[in-house]
Structure 1
Amino acid sequence: MSEQPERPEKPVPSVKSAERALRLVELLAEREPRSFTELYRALGMPKSSLHALLASLAHTGWVADDGRGGVSLGYRARAMGLSGLDESDVLDLVDDVMEDLRARLDETIHLARLDDGAVLYLASKYSRQALGVRFRPGRRMPSYATALGKAMLAALPASELALALPREYAALTPHTLTSEAALAAELDRVRAAGYAEDHEEGTVGLRCLAVALQHADLPLVALSCSVPVPRMTDAKRAEILAALLDARSTVLGRLRP
Protein backbone atom coordinates (compact mmCIF):
# COMPACT_ATOMS: atom_id res chain seq x y z
CA MET A 1 0.00 0.00 0.00
CA SER A 2 1.42 3.36 -0.96
CA GLU A 3 2.01 5.87 1.78
CA GLN A 4 -0.48 8.69 1.98
CA PRO A 5 1.05 12.15 1.73
CA GLU A 6 1.05 14.04 4.98
CA ARG A 7 -1.56 16.69 5.23
CA PRO A 8 -0.12 20.13 5.75
CA GLU A 9 -0.77 21.48 9.20
CA LYS A 10 -3.33 24.22 9.34
CA PRO A 11 -1.79 27.56 10.16
CA VAL A 12 -2.57 28.82 13.62
CA PRO A 13 -4.93 31.75 13.24
CA SER A 14 -3.50 35.01 14.50
CA VAL A 15 -5.26 37.17 17.03
CA LYS A 16 -4.83 40.64 15.63
CA SER A 17 -5.51 42.49 18.88
CA ALA A 18 -2.92 40.40 20.74
CA GLU A 19 -0.35 40.95 18.00
CA ARG A 20 -0.96 44.69 18.11
CA ALA A 21 -0.67 44.79 21.90
CA LEU A 22 2.64 42.91 21.82
CA ARG A 23 3.97 45.10 19.02
CA LEU A 24 3.00 48.24 20.94
CA VAL A 25 4.86 47.07 24.06
CA GLU A 26 7.88 46.15 21.88
CA LEU A 27 7.89 49.66 20.38
CA LEU A 28 7.89 51.23 23.84
CA ALA A 29 10.62 48.85 25.04
CA GLU A 30 12.80 50.07 22.15
CA ARG A 31 12.22 53.74 22.92
CA GLU A 32 9.89 55.65 25.20
CA PRO A 33 7.90 57.75 25.46
CA ARG A 34 6.20 57.65 22.06
CA SER A 35 3.41 59.89 20.86
CA PHE A 36 0.01 58.62 19.84
CA THR A 37 0.83 59.61 16.25
CA GLU A 38 4.03 57.53 16.26
CA LEU A 39 2.19 54.49 17.53
CA TYR A 40 -0.67 55.02 15.07
CA ARG A 41 1.74 55.14 12.13
CA ALA A 42 3.82 52.19 13.32
CA LEU A 43 0.86 49.92 14.02
CA GLY A 44 -1.29 50.90 11.04
CA MET A 45 -4.57 50.53 12.91
CA PRO A 46 -7.65 52.75 13.17
CA LYS A 47 -7.30 55.57 15.68
CA SER A 48 -10.40 54.47 17.58
CA SER A 49 -8.96 50.96 17.93
CA LEU A 50 -5.63 52.33 19.12
CA HIS A 51 -7.37 54.48 21.73
CA ALA A 52 -9.21 51.39 22.97
CA LEU A 53 -6.03 49.31 23.01
CA LEU A 54 -4.11 51.95 24.97
CA ALA A 55 -6.96 52.28 27.47
CA SER A 56 -7.00 48.52 28.02
CA LEU A 57 -3.21 48.29 28.42
CA ALA A 58 -3.20 51.29 30.79
CA HIS A 59 -5.94 49.73 32.92
CA THR A 60 -3.85 46.56 33.34
CA GLY A 61 -0.59 48.42 34.05
CA TRP A 62 1.24 47.64 30.79
CA VAL A 63 1.42 51.24 29.54
CA ALA A 64 1.06 54.66 31.15
CA ASP A 65 0.59 58.29 30.19
CA ASP A 66 3.88 60.08 30.87
CA GLY A 67 2.03 63.29 31.74
CA ARG A 68 3.34 65.16 28.69
CA GLY A 69 1.21 63.62 25.96
CA GLY A 70 3.43 60.58 25.46
CA VAL A 71 2.96 56.89 26.14
CA SER A 72 5.49 54.93 28.23
CA LEU A 73 5.73 51.44 29.66
CA GLY A 74 3.66 50.88 32.79
CA TYR A 75 4.63 49.33 36.09
CA ARG A 76 3.75 45.77 35.02
CA ALA A 77 6.05 45.90 31.97
CA ARG A 78 8.84 47.46 34.04
CA ALA A 79 8.48 44.81 36.72
CA MET A 80 9.12 42.18 34.05
CA GLY A 81 12.26 43.96 32.89
CA LEU A 82 11.02 45.00 29.46
CA SER A 83 12.67 48.39 29.76
CA GLY A 84 16.45 48.30 29.70
CA LEU A 85 17.94 45.75 32.08
CA ASP A 86 16.15 42.56 32.99
CA GLU A 87 15.92 41.06 36.47
CA SER A 88 19.11 38.98 36.23
CA ASP A 89 21.01 42.05 35.03
CA VAL A 90 19.75 44.00 38.02
CA LEU A 91 20.94 41.32 40.41
CA ASP A 92 24.38 41.40 38.80
CA LEU A 93 24.42 45.19 38.93
CA VAL A 94 23.69 45.48 42.65
CA ASP A 95 25.17 42.30 44.13
CA ASP A 96 28.50 43.85 45.15
CA VAL A 97 26.75 46.99 46.39
CA MET A 98 24.56 44.86 48.65
CA GLU A 99 27.63 43.00 49.87
CA ASP A 100 29.34 46.30 50.67
CA LEU A 101 26.26 47.49 52.55
CA ARG A 102 26.18 44.35 54.67
CA ALA A 103 29.90 44.66 55.42
CA ARG A 104 29.59 48.35 56.26
CA LEU A 105 26.52 48.00 58.49
CA ASP A 106 26.50 44.32 59.52
CA GLU A 107 22.74 44.40 59.09
CA THR A 108 20.43 42.56 56.68
CA ILE A 109 20.07 44.03 53.19
CA HIS A 110 17.21 43.30 50.79
CA LEU A 111 16.52 43.95 47.10
CA ALA A 112 12.91 43.84 45.90
CA ARG A 113 10.56 44.89 43.12
CA LEU A 114 6.84 45.49 42.86
CA ASP A 115 4.68 42.66 41.59
CA ASP A 116 0.96 43.25 41.20
CA GLY A 117 0.96 45.74 44.06
CA ALA A 118 3.05 43.57 46.39
CA VAL A 119 6.74 43.56 47.26
CA LEU A 120 8.58 40.60 45.74
CA TYR A 121 11.94 39.90 47.38
CA LEU A 122 14.69 39.24 44.80
CA ALA A 123 17.83 38.88 46.93
CA SER A 124 19.04 39.28 50.50
CA LYS A 125 22.37 39.57 52.31
CA TYR A 126 21.97 38.53 55.94
CA SER A 127 23.62 40.09 58.94
CA ARG A 128 25.83 37.93 61.15
CA GLN A 129 23.58 39.21 63.95
CA ALA A 130 20.35 38.04 62.24
CA LEU A 131 17.71 36.89 64.70
CA GLY A 132 16.07 34.25 62.51
CA VAL A 133 13.69 36.50 60.52
CA ARG A 134 14.57 35.64 56.90
CA PHE A 135 12.88 36.94 53.77
CA ARG A 136 13.81 34.41 51.08
CA PRO A 137 13.83 35.34 47.37
CA GLY A 138 10.31 34.93 46.09
CA ARG A 139 8.62 35.96 49.33
CA ARG A 140 5.87 38.54 48.92
CA MET A 141 4.70 41.23 51.35
CA PRO A 142 2.04 43.92 51.05
CA SER A 143 3.74 47.00 49.65
CA TYR A 144 2.04 49.41 52.07
CA ALA A 145 3.50 47.53 55.06
CA THR A 146 7.20 47.70 54.11
CA ALA A 147 9.80 50.40 53.61
CA LEU A 148 10.72 48.72 50.31
CA GLY A 149 7.15 48.93 49.07
CA LYS A 150 6.62 52.51 50.18
CA ALA A 151 9.87 53.61 48.51
CA MET A 152 8.71 52.14 45.19
CA LEU A 153 5.09 53.25 45.46
CA ALA A 154 6.28 56.81 46.05
CA ALA A 155 8.31 56.63 42.82
CA LEU A 156 5.34 55.67 40.63
CA PRO A 157 3.43 58.20 38.51
CA ALA A 158 -0.07 58.89 39.81
CA SER A 159 -1.75 56.77 37.11
CA GLU A 160 0.40 53.73 37.94
CA LEU A 161 0.16 54.27 41.69
CA ALA A 162 -3.63 54.05 41.51
CA LEU A 163 -3.35 50.62 39.89
CA ALA A 164 -0.78 49.40 42.41
CA LEU A 165 -2.75 50.31 45.55
CA PRO A 166 -4.60 47.53 47.35
CA ARG A 167 -8.38 47.29 47.55
CA GLU A 168 -8.14 46.38 51.22
CA TYR A 169 -5.55 47.19 53.89
CA ALA A 170 -4.91 44.31 56.29
CA ALA A 171 -3.09 44.95 59.55
CA LEU A 172 0.01 42.74 59.70
CA THR A 173 1.00 44.26 63.04
CA PRO A 174 -0.48 46.88 65.38
CA HIS A 175 1.67 49.47 63.52
CA THR A 176 0.56 48.74 59.93
CA LEU A 177 -0.97 51.58 57.92
CA THR A 178 -4.54 50.49 57.19
CA SER A 179 -6.07 53.23 55.06
CA GLU A 180 -5.44 54.88 51.72
CA ALA A 181 -5.36 58.29 53.40
CA ALA A 182 -2.65 57.21 55.85
CA LEU A 183 -0.61 55.68 53.05
CA ALA A 184 -1.00 58.78 50.85
CA ALA A 185 0.33 61.00 53.65
CA GLU A 186 3.21 58.59 54.21
CA LEU A 187 4.12 58.53 50.50
CA ASP A 188 4.20 62.34 50.48
CA ARG A 189 6.77 62.16 53.28
CA VAL A 190 8.78 59.56 51.36
CA ARG A 191 8.88 61.72 48.23
CA ALA A 192 9.99 64.75 50.22
CA ALA A 193 12.67 62.84 52.15
CA GLY A 194 13.96 60.61 49.31
CA TYR A 195 13.75 57.43 51.40
CA ALA A 196 11.16 55.31 53.21
CA GLU A 197 10.91 53.77 56.66
CA ASP A 198 8.74 51.26 58.40
CA HIS A 199 8.40 51.01 62.14
CA GLU A 200 7.42 47.39 62.82
CA GLU A 201 4.65 47.78 60.20
CA GLY A 202 5.37 44.50 58.41
CA THR A 203 7.11 42.48 61.13
CA VAL A 204 6.99 43.05 64.87
CA GLY A 205 10.47 43.74 66.21
CA LEU A 206 11.96 45.02 62.91
CA ARG A 207 12.53 48.54 61.63
CA CYS A 208 13.62 49.20 58.06
CA LEU A 209 14.86 51.97 55.83
CA ALA A 210 14.72 51.77 52.01
CA VAL A 211 15.56 53.71 48.86
CA ALA A 212 14.12 53.23 45.40
CA LEU A 213 16.50 52.70 42.47
CA GLN A 214 14.73 54.59 39.71
CA HIS A 215 16.27 54.91 36.24
CA ALA A 216 15.07 54.65 32.63
CA ASP A 217 17.31 51.60 32.05
CA LEU A 218 16.26 49.86 35.25
CA PRO A 219 13.09 48.06 36.29
CA LEU A 220 11.85 49.82 39.42
CA VAL A 221 13.50 48.15 42.42
CA ALA A 222 14.45 49.16 45.94
CA LEU A 223 17.18 48.44 48.48
CA SER A 224 16.50 48.22 52.20
CA CYS A 225 18.24 47.61 55.50
CA SER A 226 16.35 45.77 58.26
CA VAL A 227 17.36 46.13 61.89
CA PRO A 228 15.92 44.69 65.12
CA VAL A 229 14.32 47.46 67.16
CA PRO A 230 16.83 47.30 70.07
CA ARG A 231 19.73 48.03 67.70
CA MET A 232 18.03 50.94 65.87
CA THR A 233 19.47 53.87 67.77
CA ASP A 234 19.46 57.39 66.31
CA ALA A 235 23.13 57.00 65.43
CA LYS A 236 22.49 53.64 63.75
CA ARG A 237 19.59 55.07 61.75
CA ALA A 238 21.76 57.94 60.50
CA GLU A 239 24.52 55.49 59.54
CA ILE A 240 22.09 53.27 57.62
CA LEU A 241 20.50 56.17 55.78
CA ALA A 242 23.89 57.52 54.67
CA ALA A 243 24.94 54.06 53.49
CA LEU A 244 21.73 53.50 51.52
CA LEU A 245 22.00 56.89 49.82
CA ASP A 246 25.62 56.13 48.91
CA ALA A 247 24.55 52.75 47.53
CA ARG A 248 21.87 54.35 45.39
CA SER A 249 24.36 56.84 43.98
CA THR A 250 26.79 54.02 43.18
CA VAL A 251 24.20 51.93 41.32
CA LEU A 252 22.72 54.81 39.34
CA GLY A 253 26.22 56.06 38.56
CA ARG A 254 26.89 52.82 36.68
CA LEU A 255 24.03 53.46 34.27
CA ARG A 256 23.95 55.75 31.26
CA PRO A 257 23.16 59.39 32.07
Structure 2
Amino acid sequence: MQEPREQRAVQSIEVGGRLLLALSHHPGPMALKDLAAQADLPAARAHPYLVSFSKLGLVEQQADGLYALGPAALQLGLSCLHQLDPMKVAVPVAERLAASTDQSVIIALWGNMGPTVVRMIEARQPLHVNMRAGTVMSVLGTATGRAFAAALPRKILEEALAGPMGRFSAVDPSMRFSAADQAGAESLDAELRSAQEEMQAHGVTRALGRPIPSVNAFSAAAFDHEGRVALVFTVLGHADHFDASWDSAMAVAVREAASEVSRRLGFAMV
Protein backbone atom coordinates (compact mmCIF):
# COMPACT_ATOMS: atom_id res chain seq x y z
CA MET A 1 0.00 0.00 0.00
CA GLN A 2 1.34 3.41 -0.94
CA GLU A 3 2.23 5.60 2.03
CA PRO A 4 0.55 9.02 2.18
CA ARG A 5 2.68 11.85 0.88
CA GLU A 6 4.00 14.24 3.51
CA GLN A 7 2.25 17.59 3.24
CA ARG A 8 4.31 20.57 2.25
CA ALA A 9 5.20 22.86 5.15
CA VAL A 10 6.63 26.38 5.48
CA GLN A 11 9.82 26.09 7.46
CA SER A 12 10.02 29.76 8.44
CA ILE A 13 6.59 29.55 10.12
CA GLU A 14 7.72 26.51 12.08
CA VAL A 15 10.88 28.31 13.16
CA GLY A 16 9.01 31.44 14.19
CA GLY A 17 6.41 29.35 15.93
CA ARG A 18 9.09 28.06 18.29
CA LEU A 19 9.47 31.61 19.62
CA LEU A 20 5.74 31.93 20.30
CA LEU A 21 5.68 28.55 22.01
CA ALA A 22 8.69 29.50 24.15
CA LEU A 23 6.88 32.66 25.28
CA SER A 24 3.69 30.72 26.02
CA HIS A 25 5.58 28.24 28.22
CA HIS A 26 7.38 30.94 30.24
CA PRO A 27 5.70 32.53 33.27
CA GLY A 28 6.74 36.08 32.35
CA PRO A 29 8.39 38.35 29.76
CA MET A 30 11.76 37.24 28.39
CA ALA A 31 14.98 38.86 27.25
CA LEU A 32 15.91 38.33 23.62
CA LYS A 33 18.88 36.09 24.40
CA ASP A 34 16.84 33.88 26.75
CA LEU A 35 13.91 33.65 24.36
CA ALA A 36 16.19 32.79 21.45
CA ALA A 37 17.94 30.13 23.52
CA GLN A 38 14.62 28.56 24.48
CA ALA A 39 13.67 28.41 20.80
CA ASP A 40 17.11 27.03 19.90
CA LEU A 41 17.88 30.02 17.67
CA PRO A 42 20.70 32.58 17.50
CA ALA A 43 19.50 35.94 18.83
CA ALA A 44 20.30 37.62 15.50
CA ARG A 45 18.01 35.16 13.71
CA ALA A 46 15.24 35.38 16.28
CA HIS A 47 15.00 39.19 16.22
CA PRO A 48 13.46 39.60 12.71
CA TYR A 49 10.75 37.09 13.61
CA LEU A 50 9.94 39.08 16.74
CA VAL A 51 9.70 42.30 14.71
CA SER A 52 7.18 40.66 12.37
CA PHE A 53 5.21 39.16 15.25
CA SER A 54 5.13 42.58 16.91
CA LYS A 55 3.59 44.12 13.79
CA LEU A 56 0.85 41.47 13.95
CA GLY A 57 0.27 42.02 17.65
CA LEU A 58 1.31 38.47 18.52
CA VAL A 59 4.32 39.75 20.48
CA GLU A 60 5.04 43.03 22.20
CA GLN A 61 8.30 44.50 23.44
CA GLN A 62 7.99 46.21 26.79
CA ALA A 63 9.72 49.41 27.90
CA ASP A 64 12.43 47.37 29.64
CA GLY A 65 13.18 45.56 26.37
CA LEU A 66 11.68 42.25 27.40
CA TYR A 67 9.34 40.38 25.07
CA ALA A 68 5.87 39.09 25.96
CA LEU A 69 2.88 37.70 24.11
CA GLY A 70 0.74 40.48 22.63
CA PRO A 71 -3.00 41.19 22.44
CA ALA A 72 -3.46 39.25 19.20
CA ALA A 73 -2.06 36.14 20.89
CA LEU A 74 -4.56 36.62 23.73
CA GLN A 75 -7.40 36.95 21.23
CA LEU A 76 -6.33 33.78 19.47
CA GLY A 77 -6.28 31.91 22.75
CA LEU A 78 -9.69 33.18 23.82
CA SER A 79 -11.20 32.36 20.43
CA CYS A 80 -9.80 28.83 20.66
CA LEU A 81 -11.27 28.38 24.14
CA HIS A 82 -14.69 29.64 23.05
CA GLN A 83 -14.72 27.20 20.15
CA LEU A 84 -13.80 24.21 22.29
CA ASP A 85 -16.49 21.63 22.92
CA PRO A 86 -15.33 19.25 25.69
CA MET A 87 -17.42 16.38 24.32
CA LYS A 88 -16.11 16.89 20.80
CA VAL A 89 -12.59 16.64 22.21
CA ALA A 90 -13.38 13.72 24.53
CA VAL A 91 -15.29 11.31 22.29
CA PRO A 92 -12.39 10.38 19.93
CA VAL A 93 -10.12 9.96 22.95
CA ALA A 94 -12.70 7.71 24.63
CA GLU A 95 -13.06 5.63 21.48
CA ARG A 96 -9.29 5.10 21.33
CA LEU A 97 -9.29 4.22 25.03
CA ALA A 98 -11.97 1.58 24.49
CA ALA A 99 -10.09 0.13 21.52
CA SER A 100 -6.71 0.03 23.28
CA THR A 101 -8.02 -1.55 26.50
CA ASP A 102 -10.79 -3.67 24.94
CA GLN A 103 -13.02 -2.50 27.78
CA SER A 104 -16.17 -0.39 27.97
CA VAL A 105 -15.66 3.34 28.46
CA ILE A 106 -18.00 5.93 29.96
CA ILE A 107 -17.92 9.69 29.62
CA ALA A 108 -19.76 11.39 32.47
CA LEU A 109 -20.61 15.04 33.17
CA TRP A 110 -21.73 16.64 36.42
CA GLY A 111 -25.45 17.25 35.88
CA ASN A 112 -28.37 18.49 37.94
CA MET A 113 -28.63 15.12 39.66
CA GLY A 114 -24.89 14.47 39.93
CA PRO A 115 -22.49 12.32 37.85
CA THR A 116 -24.41 11.59 34.68
CA VAL A 117 -23.44 9.23 31.86
CA VAL A 118 -23.55 11.06 28.52
CA ARG A 119 -21.78 8.47 26.37
CA MET A 120 -20.99 4.78 26.73
CA ILE A 121 -18.70 3.00 24.31
CA GLU A 122 -19.09 -0.76 24.51
CA ALA A 123 -16.21 -3.21 24.32
CA ARG A 124 -16.24 -6.00 21.74
CA GLN A 125 -17.61 -8.21 24.49
CA PRO A 126 -20.21 -5.84 25.98
CA LEU A 127 -20.92 -5.82 29.70
CA HIS A 128 -24.42 -6.74 30.68
CA VAL A 129 -25.02 -3.72 32.88
CA ASN A 130 -28.04 -1.49 33.19
CA MET A 131 -26.27 1.67 32.11
CA ARG A 132 -26.90 4.11 29.27
CA ALA A 133 -26.83 7.82 28.48
CA GLY A 134 -28.71 9.62 31.22
CA THR A 135 -27.84 7.15 33.98
CA VAL A 136 -26.97 8.97 37.21
CA MET A 137 -24.09 7.43 39.15
CA SER A 138 -23.69 7.24 42.92
CA VAL A 139 -21.44 10.06 44.12
CA LEU A 140 -19.32 8.03 46.51
CA GLY A 141 -20.32 4.47 45.61
CA THR A 142 -18.79 4.42 42.12
CA ALA A 143 -15.37 5.20 40.65
CA THR A 144 -17.03 7.80 38.41
CA GLY A 145 -18.67 9.62 41.31
CA ARG A 146 -15.53 9.45 43.43
CA ALA A 147 -13.50 11.08 40.66
CA PHE A 148 -15.92 14.01 40.72
CA ALA A 149 -15.92 14.03 44.52
CA ALA A 150 -12.12 14.20 44.58
CA ALA A 151 -12.07 17.31 42.40
CA LEU A 152 -15.26 19.28 43.07
CA PRO A 153 -15.49 21.95 45.78
CA ARG A 154 -16.81 20.53 49.01
CA LYS A 155 -19.65 23.08 49.11
CA ILE A 156 -21.12 21.69 45.89
CA LEU A 157 -21.08 18.17 47.30
CA GLU A 158 -22.55 19.24 50.64
CA GLU A 159 -25.38 21.15 48.98
CA ALA A 160 -26.14 18.22 46.71
CA LEU A 161 -26.08 15.59 49.43
CA ALA A 162 -27.59 17.49 52.35
CA GLY A 163 -30.93 16.59 53.89
CA PRO A 164 -33.56 13.95 53.15
CA MET A 165 -34.73 16.05 50.18
CA GLY A 166 -31.21 16.53 48.83
CA ARG A 167 -30.83 16.18 45.10
CA PHE A 168 -29.15 12.78 45.47
CA SER A 169 -31.56 11.34 48.02
CA ALA A 170 -33.07 9.04 45.42
CA VAL A 171 -29.85 7.91 43.75
CA ASP A 172 -27.49 7.87 46.72
CA PRO A 173 -29.63 7.32 49.83
CA SER A 174 -26.65 6.13 51.88
CA MET A 175 -25.23 9.64 51.78
CA ARG A 176 -28.21 11.54 53.17
CA PHE A 177 -27.25 13.77 56.07
CA SER A 178 -28.17 17.11 57.56
CA ALA A 179 -25.91 19.95 58.59
CA ALA A 180 -26.70 19.11 62.22
CA ASP A 181 -25.89 15.43 61.75
CA GLN A 182 -22.36 15.18 63.11
CA ALA A 183 -22.01 11.48 62.28
CA GLY A 184 -23.14 12.10 58.71
CA ALA A 185 -20.72 14.99 58.27
CA GLU A 186 -17.86 12.88 59.63
CA SER A 187 -18.80 10.05 57.27
CA LEU A 188 -18.73 12.46 54.35
CA ASP A 189 -15.34 13.79 55.48
CA ALA A 190 -13.91 10.28 55.54
CA GLU A 191 -15.31 9.39 52.11
CA LEU A 192 -14.04 12.60 50.54
CA ARG A 193 -10.59 12.16 52.04
CA SER A 194 -10.45 8.61 50.71
CA ALA A 195 -11.39 9.71 47.18
CA GLN A 196 -8.97 12.64 47.26
CA GLU A 197 -6.11 10.48 48.54
CA GLU A 198 -6.74 7.92 45.79
CA MET A 199 -6.65 10.63 43.13
CA GLN A 200 -3.55 12.31 44.55
CA ALA A 201 -1.64 9.06 44.92
CA HIS A 202 -2.64 7.36 41.68
CA GLY A 203 -4.30 9.92 39.39
CA VAL A 204 -7.41 7.71 39.27
CA THR A 205 -10.19 6.47 41.53
CA ARG A 206 -11.13 2.80 41.65
CA ALA A 207 -14.15 0.61 42.28
CA LEU A 208 -13.84 -3.14 42.84
CA GLY A 209 -17.09 -5.02 42.36
CA ARG A 210 -19.24 -2.07 43.35
CA PRO A 211 -21.90 -1.07 42.68
CA ILE A 212 -22.00 -3.94 40.16
CA PRO A 213 -20.64 -7.26 41.45
CA SER A 214 -17.70 -8.68 39.44
CA VAL A 215 -17.23 -5.39 37.56
CA ASN A 216 -14.14 -3.26 38.22
CA ALA A 217 -13.56 0.31 37.14
CA PHE A 218 -10.99 3.11 37.03
CA SER A 219 -11.96 6.78 36.61
CA ALA A 220 -10.03 9.98 35.98
CA ALA A 221 -11.16 13.59 35.67
CA ALA A 222 -10.35 15.97 32.83
CA PHE A 223 -10.13 19.69 33.60
CA ASP A 224 -10.77 22.86 31.58
CA HIS A 225 -8.57 25.94 31.27
CA GLU A 226 -9.90 27.33 34.56
CA GLY A 227 -9.10 24.16 36.47
CA ARG A 228 -12.74 23.06 36.73
CA VAL A 229 -13.80 19.46 36.19
CA ALA A 230 -15.00 19.20 32.60
CA LEU A 231 -15.82 15.48 32.54
CA VAL A 232 -14.78 12.10 33.87
CA PHE A 233 -13.58 9.08 31.92
CA THR A 234 -14.34 5.64 33.33
CA VAL A 235 -13.07 2.35 31.96
CA LEU A 236 -14.87 -0.70 33.31
CA GLY A 237 -14.86 -4.41 32.70
CA HIS A 238 -15.45 -7.85 34.17
CA ALA A 239 -13.07 -8.63 37.02
CA ASP A 240 -11.84 -11.79 35.24
CA HIS A 241 -10.37 -9.68 32.42
CA PHE A 242 -9.61 -6.42 34.22
CA ASP A 243 -6.32 -5.82 36.01
CA ALA A 244 -7.35 -3.54 38.87
CA SER A 245 -3.89 -2.96 40.37
CA TRP A 246 -3.02 0.72 40.74
CA ASP A 247 -0.06 0.49 38.36
CA SER A 248 -1.87 -1.59 35.73
CA ALA A 249 -1.98 -0.67 32.05
CA MET A 250 -5.72 -0.02 32.54
CA ALA A 251 -5.10 2.62 35.21
CA VAL A 252 -2.37 4.26 33.14
CA ALA A 253 -4.55 4.34 30.02
CA VAL A 254 -7.51 6.11 31.63
CA ARG A 255 -5.22 8.55 33.42
CA GLU A 256 -3.43 9.42 30.17
CA ALA A 257 -6.74 9.80 28.32
CA ALA A 258 -7.98 12.31 30.89
CA SER A 259 -4.65 14.17 30.76
CA GLU A 260 -4.85 14.41 26.98
CA VAL A 261 -8.31 15.96 27.13
CA SER A 262 -7.21 18.34 29.92
CA ARG A 263 -4.27 19.49 27.81
CA ARG A 264 -6.49 20.06 24.78
CA LEU A 265 -8.97 22.03 26.91
CA GLY A 266 -6.19 24.38 28.02
CA PHE A 267 -5.55 23.05 31.52
CA ALA A 268 -2.05 23.94 32.69
CA MET A 269 -0.45 20.70 33.84
CA VAL A 270 1.88 21.14 36.82
Q: Same fold (TM over 0.5)?
A: yes
The alpha carbon displacement at 1:219 in A equals 5.6
Matched, 1:220 2:230: yes
Structure 1 residue 229 and structure 2 residue 239: aligned? Answer: yes
Q: For residue 103 of structure 1, report the CA deviation from its aligned partner.
A: 0.8
Match of 1:188, SS state, is helix
CA contact (8 A) 1:155 1:214 kept: no
Say yes or no: does 1:129 pair with 2:125: yes
Matched, 1:206 2:202: no
Amino acid corresponding to residue 237 of structure 2 in structure 1: V
Task: Give the conservation status (yes or no) of the 8 Å contact 2:216–2:236.
Answer: yes
Does the 8 A contact of 1:151 with 1:212 survive in 2?
A: yes
Query: Given the superposition, is the C-alpha separation of residues 186 and 235 from structure 1 closer, same or farther in structure 2, using an over 3 Å criterion?
Result: closer
Alpha carbons of structure 1 residues 127 and 182: separation in structure 2 relative to 1, 3 Å = same
Question: Once superposed, which parts of structure 1, at least 4 consecutive aligned residues long, lie more than 4 Å away?
Answer: 166-169, 234-237
Q: Distance in 1 between matches of 2:127 and 2:142?
A: 18
Instruction: Kindly indicate whether structure 1 or structure 2 has the higher relative contact order, using CA contacts under 8 Å at least 6 residues apart.
Output: 1
Q: 1:247 aligns with which of 232, 238, 257?
A: 257
Which structure 1 segments of 5+ residues have no match? Answer: 1-83, 172-178
Deviation at 1:185, TM superposition (A): 3.3
Aligned pair count reads: 168
| Residue 192 (str. 1) matches residue 200 (str. 2) | yes
CA RMSD of aligned residues (A): 2.9
Distance 2:160 2:142 in 1: 14
Deviation at 1:146, TM superposition (A): 1.1
Percent sequence identity is 22
1:143 aligned onto 2:139: yes
Determine if the alignment matches structure 1 residue 105 to structure 2 residue 101: yes
Q: Report the secondary structure of 2:105's partner residue.
A: strand
CA drift of 1:110 comes to: 0.2
Question: Which deviates the most, 185-194 or 104-113?
Answer: 185-194
CA contact (8 A) 2:146 2:205 kept: yes
Cα displacement (A) at 1:127: 0.6
Q: Hey, what's the Cα distance between the residues in 2 that align with 1:85 and 1:111?
A: 21
Deviation at 1:91, TM superposition (A): 1.9
| 2:161 matched residue in structure 1 | 165
Contact 1:112 1:223 in 2 (8 A): yes
Secondary structure, in 3 states, of the residue corresponding to 2:85? helix
TM-score, normalised by the number of residues in structure 2: 0.54
2:116 to 106, 117, 120: 120
Offset, 1:249: 2.2
Question: Which residue number corresponds to residue 70 of structure 2?
Answer: none
- Distance (Å, rounded) in 2 between the aligned partners of 1:214 and 1:227: 25
Supply the distance in 1 between the matched residues of 2:222 and 2:126 (Cα, whole angstroms).
25
The structural deviation recorded for 1:135 is: 1.7
In 2, distance between residues paired with 1:113 and 1:234?
24
Q: 1:136 to 1:166 in 2, by over 3 A?
A: farther
Alpha carbons of structure 1 residues 166 and 212: separation in structure 2 relative to 1, 3 Å? farther
Q: Which runs of 5+ in 2 are unaligned?
A: 1-80, 164-168, 175-186
Q: Please say if residues 116 and 164 of structure 1, whose CA atoms lie closer than 8 Å, have aligned partners that are also in contact.
A: no
Secondary structure of the residue aligned to 1:138 is: coil
What does the per-residue CA deviation read over 1:124-149, in whole Å, with 9 as the maximum and x for residues that have no partner?
A: 11011223215211111221111111
Q: Could you tell me how far 1:151 is from its partner in structure 2?
A: 0.5
Distance 1:199 1:170, change over 3 A: farther
- 1:165, distance to aligned residue in structure 2 (A): 3.2
Query: Which has the higher mean CA deviation after the structures are superposed, 155-164 or 211-220?
Result: 211-220
Q: How far apart in 2 are the matches of 1:197 and 1:85?
A: 33
Distance 1:128 1:122, change over 3 A: same
